[in-house]
Structure 1
Amino acid sequence: MDIRICIDVDSLERGIAFYTLGLGLRVGRRLGNDWAELVGGSSPIDLLANAAGTAPLGEGQPQRRDYARHWTPVHLDFVVERIDDVVQQLVTLGARLERPISDRAWGRMASMADPFGHGLDLLEFKDRGYDELLPPQL
């Protein structure tokens, strides 16, 4: 099974700039004026331009797109090198650092929000990554 990640943005050009300049992804193809496929990670990311206030589930439904910071139990983790530099670059591009970089048994982590209100975490693994939580293999 393939997994595709879809992220609504209110400006396709700002979304492309944020995810390419900030995280090193690249545009694989544009699928119209309101859709760009980003590649360079383990799954493609589709940026979908949709205006704030529009109905994601169709007219007649109460939900409306809102690009202010919003919390959802689903978020993206991006594994990076040089987490301090990536945090600084993303903040320059409009992200917010919501929890300072913290040390973990498996590496370092920064909790952020992109310019479109979506939460994301940056992870910088050390040595065995999450396997640092397990006993070493003999």
Structure 2
Amino acid sequence: MQLLLNLDVPDLPAAVTFYQQAFGLTVGRELFDGTVVEMLGAAVPLYLLHKAAATRPCPQADLQRHYGRHWMPLHLDLVVADLDLALARALGAGAQQEGEIHEYDWGRLVTLSDPFGHGLCLVQWRGEGYDLVATHGRAIDAQN
């Protein structure tokens, strides 16, 4: 299986510029007559899809797209080597910081939103990262 990330944006050139400047991603390919741009440089490709505000994600949906700050259960966590440097770069590109930097035994984390309302987290590992908080040898019962 291959994982691809797709992110709806109302302004494709602005989104490409933001993800280039904020996180150093590069343009791979333009697809579907220029309505989709593949961004490379992360562990999986990020596809920016031009979708106008107030359009439906599918014909059956009662919801319409909006690009004010919104919550989505799926968000992007970007693991960086230097959180302070990455935060300054993201803010300079137009991200909005949504709280202070949080310090944990496993690392540092700060929450942001991109200019299109999508939530992002910057994460800097410390020591063993999430291995420090992993529950080894115990399976999670999916029925509970």
Provide the TM-score with structure 1 as the length reference: 0.90
Match of 2:52 in 1: 51
Answering whether residue 4 of structure 2 is matched by residue 4 of structure 1, we say: yes
**2: CA distance, partners of 1:14 / 1:105:** 36
**1: CA distance, partners of 2:23 / 2:86:** 7
Find the residue that maps to 1:86 and give its secondary structure.
helix
**1: CA distance, partners of 2:61 / 2:72:** 19
Find the residue that maps to 1:99 and give its secondary structure.
coil
What is the number of equivalent residue pairs in this alignment?
Answer: 134
**CA distances 1:20-55 after superposition (whole Å, capped 9, x unpaired):** 111111111111321100111111110001111111
Letter in 2 for 1:45: L
Shift of residue 120, structure 1, vs aligned partner: 0.9
Shift of residue 76, structure 1, vs aligned partner: 1.2
Distance 1:61 1:129, change over 3 A: closer
**2: CA distance, partners of 1:20 / 1:70:** 22
Shift of residue 127, structure 1, vs aligned partner: 2.3
Q: Which structure is higher in strand share?
A: 1
Match of 1:38 in 2: 39
Root-mean-square deviation over aligned CA pairs: 1.6
Q: Deviating runs (4+, > 2 A) in structure 1?
A: 132-135
Residue segments in structure 2 that go unaligned for 5+ positions in a row: 136-144
Provide the TM-score with structure 2 as the length reference: 0.87
Match of 1:76 in 2: 76
**CA distances 1:42-69 after superposition (whole Å, capped 9, x unpaired):** 11110001111111112x6421110000
Answering whether residue 118 of structure 2 is matched by residue 114 of structure 1, we say: no
**2: CA distance, partners of 1:61 / 1:71:** 17
Letter in 1 for 2:39: L
Letter in 1 for 2:41: G
Distance 1:30 1:99, change over 3 A: same
